[in-house]
Amino acid sequence: MQHIRDRLETHQVAIYFCTVAVALGLSTQVVGTQRLESAINPALTLMLFVTFLQVPLAELGQAFSRVRFLATLLVTNFALVPLLVAVLVQFLPPEPLIRLGVLLVLLAPCIDYVVTFAHLGRADARLLLAATPTLLIAQMVLLPVYLRLFLGDAAAGLVQLGPFVHAFVWLIAVPLVLAAVVQLWAAKSPVGLRASSVLGLLPVPATALVLFIVILAVVPQLGSAIDAALSVVPVYIAFALVAPLIGWGVSRLFRLDAPAGRAVAFSAGTRNSLVVLPLALVVPGAIPILPAIIVTQTLVELTAELVYVRWLAQFGRKRELASMAPR
């Protein structure tokens, strides 16, 4: 089963792009999308459950023991990246919904497919995986604070507390508890171990499923939001170029080893668009602008990941090779 999982992870970029292409093709035939929208959260719960299942409980505790790595990750994503976003939003149209959409997606670090991309880019993916629950909890707590800081009183009318509580329960608590139950079952039962192995094949297919549902639900509603989506592309490209450099720079300051530093760089450049989309859909008047802006970031980011797996893999490589050379 491991070889199937390895093949899925190796070819995940092609899988995601094919999924997006098929969904875009089918979206022209879709009329009603309300049922599809209601399927986004269950699909996300499945995706996060199988993602968390890859984090052994012992390693989750180990993530907290790696204080320097966790501190670097948190400082990068919740102190320096927001400063970068504060600069970039100045180049956006003044429309509140456009700015809200960009803020929602750029202020939230990814907690799912970033792990596999990090692995492909020679980063310490397991350490990053162990930190994903911490990243998700931190962003759910801090995102409302940052939105109010960036948007002022306008955020109060646009963002409601209820969806954040709902997201915490269904996107953090439930998947994490289910993952812990399956891990305990696997430790005590051959059947549980078999079930855990089968579920271990699902992270890439589950992510593809979320992409498929999101594209199919959102694209038919875009309409006049195309101009708004195109207006944010330069900001997304600038973010994709600068954010990983910030992550790598902070990792150098904290003196992390190269694989851990690459993990921070991947985390800085990869955002949580699929998870924040349900939060955006409940904002009054969100459709079609907010979904268009968030899905646009996903498409830009998937393209950027193709660059990251080669570009970021070279960060610190000379030093690693020098340390391995015989003396």
* HEC secondary structure over 133-196: HHHHHHHHHHHHHHHHHHHCCHHHHHCCHHHHHHHHHHHHHHHHHHHHHHHHHHHHCHHHHHHH
158 has pLDDT over 90 = no
The pLDDT assigned to 159 comes to 66
Joined together, the tokens standing for residue 71 give 């501190």
Which of 281, 271, 275, 296 minimizes the C-alpha distance to 46? 275
Instruction: Please give the C-alpha separations between residue 195 and each of 15, 53, 185, 187, 289, in angstroms, as whole numbers.
Output: 24, 11, 9, 11, 41
Residue identified by tokens 């070279």 is 314
Torsion 51-273-16-304 (CA) sign: negative
pLDDT recorded at residue 11 = 84
Q: How many alpha carbons fall within 13 Å on the CB side of residue 118? A: 29
Peptide bond into 288 cis (omega under 30): yes
Which tokens go with 133?
């629950």
The pLDDT score that the predictor gives to residue 293 is 92
pLDDT digits (tens, 9 = 90+) for 263-310: 999 999 999 888 888 888 778 777 788 888 998 998 899 889 889 988
Position 326 pLDDT exceeds 60: no
Per-residue pLDDT band for 206 (boundaries 50, 70, 90) equals very high
Query: In whole numbers, what is the pLDDT of the chain averaged over residues?
Result: 86
pTM of the prediction? Answer: 0.86
Q: Which two tokens mark 140?
A: 């759910």
- Stated as kind and residue range, the H or E segment containing 125 is helix 125-130
Domain boundaries, the chain: 2-9+34-315
Domain 2-9+34-315 has CATH 1.10.300.10: no
pLDDT at 39 over 90: no
